[in-house]
Amino acid sequence: MKLPRILFGAASSGSGKTLLTCGILQALRERGLRVSSFKCGPDYIDPMFHTQVLGAHSRNLDTFFTGENLTRYLLAENSREADIAVMEGVMGYYDGIGGTTSGASSYDLARVTQTPVVLIVNGRGMSLSLAALVKGFVDFRPNSGIRGVIFNQVSPNIYEELKSIVEKECGVKVLGYVPNLKDYVIESRHLGLVTPEEVEGLQEKLAGLAKILERSLDFDELIAMAKQAPELEEEEPTLPRLEESVRIGVARDAAFCFYYEDNLELLRKMGAELVEFSPLRDSALPESLDGLIFGGGYPELFARRLEENETLRRQIREALEAGIPCVAECGGFLYLQKELEDMKTFSHEMVGFLPGKGYHTGRLSRFGYVELTARCETVFGPAGTALKGHEFHYFDSTDCGNAFLAKKPVRENTWDCVHGSENLAAGFPHFYYYSNPEAAFHFLERGVAYAHRRDHS
């Protein structure tokens, strides 16, 4: 597959990757290009901002979750109609698993997909040192993939001189600069950026940002660089498929908004019909559901409204007690417990199907990749079923479950997590289904079995 593509990396977090990526996506769209976009790593929120720009779901690409061949396939599969694919990196360009390896880093994704890289460098407080920083990144690995540089927060008065020095000393093309953008800052909260719906005048901001970038960046050179990417070698995986469809209810609103889009698309490819509902707004579940998914998000910010929707909470609890298959992750897991504290530590009643109380710890409780192995039968399959996932939460629970053993890659410390049964997997980890498609298929098969029991009862 011939796919022009570019990856925006950075020296560190906080270099402006997300804001600039969104502005570049907007500018490319305004040039009439069909654009696909991706976030390197397991982040949920950055793709939501990409989606606001493109009007189509952005995706994640993560070599820890999917290895090399499957990562290339997902890039190709989600770019079939695109003129150009844009990838936003994660953290510092070489920062990977365990903090001491480059596995699953932006560099690793660029290597696996053979994508040209533009390094975004925050130049605030630097001048000639920018050249030293860029040269260090370019030379750190002989195949760094870095072909261009963009200077962020650099004065136009010194830009031309810095451009000449960096191109001479580092052997890469400088594609432009971005001045200080005080009017375009996006605030953050305890899980990172706020969601796009909460940013006042986002579309106007993005349109204004795109105009600024059109003046200060060399888009013709950027597009030409993307076209230098070699053909993308891909191999489509063989996936199981149901003989009959199942209806899976997906909780989706401001409280439950963290989903890997490829997880949902994988379920559809296997034969599932996905039906969205809102625990904040809806008074009843959709009819004839054969399974439930509760993603992560911000239930703590909406705890009172979730508590007040008592009719739906009761209906969910009764469905779970009747054995409907269910996957609940992080915020979704907290919602199924007895109680949940809000950000002011006031407790609110939740669904009450699971024991335990969710509470705010005031710090990041767990963060990073996990390898998960089932200790007993769960909705994902028998004991021994393995999946990969990610955790990132400031909340904890008085009862996290013990159906899975979680292990940190590289560092290898372990702990118990997740409530599980033949119809349930509910805990803090966010599962990535493509890490074990058979496990996701088992969940759907449990939905078929539930549908047969329901229809014959």
- Which residues are known catalytic residues? 330
Residue 41 in contact with residue 4, Cβ under 8 Å?
A: no
Compute the distance between CA of residue 218 and CA of residue 214 in angstroms, rounded to an integer: 7
Beta-bridge partners for 203: none
Report whether 263 contacts 220 (CB < 8 A). Answer: no
Whole-angstrom Cα distance, residue 139 to residue 126? 20
Q: How many angstroms separate the first and last alpha carbons of the chain?
A: 51
CA angle 309, 431, 364 (to 5 degrees): 75
Count CB-CB contacts under 10 A for residue 286.
Answer: 13
Strands 173-178 and 146-152: parallel
Give yes or no for a contact between 87 and 94, defined as CB atoms under 8 angstroms apart: no
**Three-state DSSP state, 359:** strand
- Give the containing element (helix H, strand E) for 448: helix 437-455
How many CA atoms lie within 13 Å of 411's alpha carbon, on the beta-carbon side?
Answer: 15
* Cβ atoms of residues 56 and 85 within 8 Å: no
C-beta of residue 345 within 8 angstroms of C-beta of residue 366:
no
Q: What are phi and psi of 223, to 5 degrees?
A: -65, -40
What is the residue type of 446? R
The span from the CA of 448 to the CA of 393, in Å, is: 33
Q: Which residues are bridge partners to 349 per DSSP?
A: 339
Alpha-helix residue ranges (DSSP H) falling in 229-364: 261-269, 303-308, 310-321, 331-336
Task: Give one DSSP letter per residue of 210-270, joined into a string.
Answer: HHHHHHHB-HHHHHHHHHTSPPPP--PPP----SS-EEEEEE-SSSEEE--HHHHHHHHHT
